[in-house]
Chains A and B, each alone.
Chain A
Amino acid sequence: MRSFLRRGLGLRARVVLAFGLSGLVLSGLLATVTYGVARNTSLDQRTRSAERQFIDNADLVGESSRAEDTSYIDLLQSLPQVAGGQSIANIPTPEDRWVAPGGLTPEDLPTPLVDIVGGSDGAYLMRYSNNSQPTLAFGIKLLPAEVGYYEVITLNEIADNLSSLALTLVLAAAGTTIAGAMLGVWASSRILSPIASVSSAAQAIAAGDLATRLEPRADPDLEIIVDSFNDMAAALERRIARDARFASDVSHELRSPLMTLRASIDVLDSRRHELSERSQAALDLLSDDVNRFQRLVEDLLEISRGDGGADIEVSTLNLLELVRNVTSFTGHDQIPMTSDDERHQPLIDGEKRRLFQVVSNLLDNADKYAGGATSIRVASSRDYVTLAIEDAGPGVPRDERQLVFERFARGGAARRRGAGAGAGLGLALVAEHVRMHNGSVWIEERLDRGPGARFVVELPRSEENDEA
């Protein structure tokens, strides 16, 4: 139970509960005390005024009982009574009888009172419940005629007042409890709002927006959190920028020797006829690996640029036109290409250079691992433009479909083909570029369920109006 409370109730619920319970306990206590005091005070007042009246009446009855021919019924009728009060008298002589002008019977009197009044001198008072109504009774034996005089006062009116007071108090307590709970809601949202802003800032940082900072707050209690969070974010940003700069510096430093290698290989290549067959083969190996090396350096630079938080240079592009240009530029124009640009032009806001890499890296990937792409399709809906490239290769196992987009993570299938296959950054760059364009990329089954893979890139459609 305890652990359920710990886990099941959040801070907000706990604060609300605490405020609500405090409200309930305090107002309940207050109401109980108020009720008790009010009850006692009004009962006491009522008792005192009834007592005064009773003593006055008893004196009158006592005076009258000294005469022989007293008409008790008229006498009792003439006595003033407090509200709800009635009188009854026991006349022992000449024969024992009861006189009651209001219709009281001796059964209405509590037996203990009658007993004690009958057995002794003095006035007595008793509170009891008559027919489940709170009742007050006085009694006295008047000498010398030994007349027992009683007054019975029903306290209904007081009981009604008290119960309406009780209802009011219960309602007030309930109101206080609800108000306490609402105060708890307000207080907890006040407490939680900085936490919510911290959590959304942390999410923004996790999503790659490293420049996210919390607004400074005037509250000295919150300032500590805000300052330490911002310090942490700044340290993280510096660190990531340093890592990115390092990768970028390394790539730049590698460009100079690569320049020498590149130019020297070209010089050798233009003289290949002077070389022996063995030297030519060695030159080809050298040339291929310098190309691969150069590609790796450029990809690394590109990745570090993305890590450094570079922005994209956006212009409105027609994806179909861009893909056609990529295929002709990279010699893939034999791949069948379809599109459905009837209703929406496949316009996107993007950076040409990055999108070139997206398309060409996907085509390269198909070349390396799947014997080349078999079809390219550009489609557009109201909100998105999608590019789908299918191949007839071995496909990508379901559990590797995320993995292949990670840096230097080649799929198991690719690894089996030997190390010479690829640099391992191509698809990571695709994912990086697509992410920077607020799009997504994934791998799925081919539409015809045939063997192979389908790489899908989905980009937000440009809001520029169609020029159709």
Chain B
Amino acid sequence: MGTRILTVEDDERIRTAVRFALEDEGWVVDEADNGEAAVEKFTREPADVVLIDIMLPGMDGFELCRSIRRASDVPIVMVTARADTHDVVAGLEAGADDYLTKPFAPKELSARIRALLRRARVSTTDSPLIRIGELEIAPEQGVVKRGGDEVHLTKTEFRLLCELASSPGKVFSRESLLEKVWGYGYFGDGRLVDVHVRRLRTKVELDAANPRHVVTVRGMGYKLTP
């Protein structure tokens, strides 16, 4: 059975056209035309990736995003008609891993999905366990512990943490994180990195407002400090 994608979109024409195109790309596509149906479908049969249109009747895309996020760390790609507004940041804060703007090329979506499904990069050191202060990261198992307790990260948050942990103390620019974690180039949206760093902090930091590990280097990027 191939990788299953759940597309949530209320416009039937778009849903159908996108399904055809995604099936051509080799994905197995499941559909829902509203948020409630999507939650029900996802609970019954979890997908590998969820594609959510923000503008949904009833339960909107953000709500659906949060609802799925509570139950699963499945990669979520959000589809928005407006890249300029706060929709993007709100969607990312609701738990989406990436976003696309309508109209997107199905090939671009496939590339995004493949990037999100990549496994975390194994650390450059041979050690199976990376320790950063009270954090323990096991890239192979996809597990992070803080003071012995497991911290639950989404796949993208985990890959971001592993990337930073591959060279503790080194400053990573937004561009390089976009490339390594999301597969974007120079013109990727820096807000992806910023919002994910914020999300990561709420999970791995004792006090997310005063981060000790995931530190911002003004004008340059981010670094991980013990």
Contacts and interface: CB of A to CB of B under 8 A. Distances in A.
Contacts of A352: 186-187, 190
A256 B190 contact: no
Nearest to A305: B84
Contacts of A258: 102-103
A270 interface: yes
Interface stretch (A59-67, A259-267, A374-382, A403-411): A259-267
Interface residues of B, number: 22
A252 B80 CA distance: 10
B21 interface: yes
A362 to B, nearest CB: 16
A163 interface: no
B44 interface: no
B185 interface: yes
Determine the main DSSP class of A at the interface with B.
Answer: helix
Nearest to B84: A305
Given A256-B14, A267-B20, A270-B24, A262 B219 contact: no
A105 interface: no
Interface in A316-360: 316, 321-322, 325, 329, 352-353, 356
Interface bin, chain A: 20 to 34
A388 to B, nearest CB: 21
B105 A262 contact: yes
Contacts of A264: 17, 20-21
Given A259-B18, A263-B14, A329 B185 contact: yes
Interface in B153-209: 185-187, 190
B187 A256 contact: no
Determine the main DSSP class of B at the interface with A.
Answer: loop
Interface string B88-121: 0000000000000011111100000000000000
A257 B13 CA distance: 8
A294 interface: yes
Interface in A265-294: 266-267, 270, 294
Given A266-B105, A266-B107, A329-B185, A259 B82 contact: no
B186 A260 contact: no
B11 interface: yes
A325 B187 contact: yes
B132 interface: no
B81 A256 contact: yes
A207 interface: no
Contacts of B105: 262, 266
Given A263-B20, A266-B21, A329 B186 contact: yes
A263 B187 contact: no
Contacts of A356: 187
Contact of A252 (B14, B20, B82, B190): B82
A329 B186 CA distance: 9
Contacts of A262: 17, 103-106
A315 B107 CA distance: 30
A329 B187 contact: yes
A325 B21 CA distance: 30
Interface in B68-93: 81-82, 84
B122 to A, nearest CB: 29
A68 interface: no
Contacts of A305: 84
B17 A259 contact: yes
A261 B20 CA distance: 12
A246 to B, nearest CB: 15
A256 B101 CA distance: 11
Contacts of A270: 21, 24
Contact of A263 (B17, B190, B219): B17
Contacts of A310: 84
A259 B187 contact: no
A439 to B, nearest CB: 20
Most buried by B among A310, A316, A352: A352
A356 B188 CA distance: 11
Contacts of A325: 185-187
Contacts of B102: 255-256, 258-259
Contacts of B82: 252
A256 B106 contact: no
A364 to B, nearest CB: 16
A259 B185 contact: no
8 contacts: A252-B82, A259-B103, A262-B104, A263-B20, A264-B20, A266-B106, A267-B21, A315-B190
Interface of B: 11, 13-14, 17-18, 20-21, 24, 81-82, 84, 102-107, 185-187, 190, 219
Given A259-B11, A263-B106, 11 more contacts: A252-B81, A255-B81, A256-B81, A258-B103, A259-B104, A260-B13, A260-B14, A263-B14, A310-B84, A352-B187, A352-B190
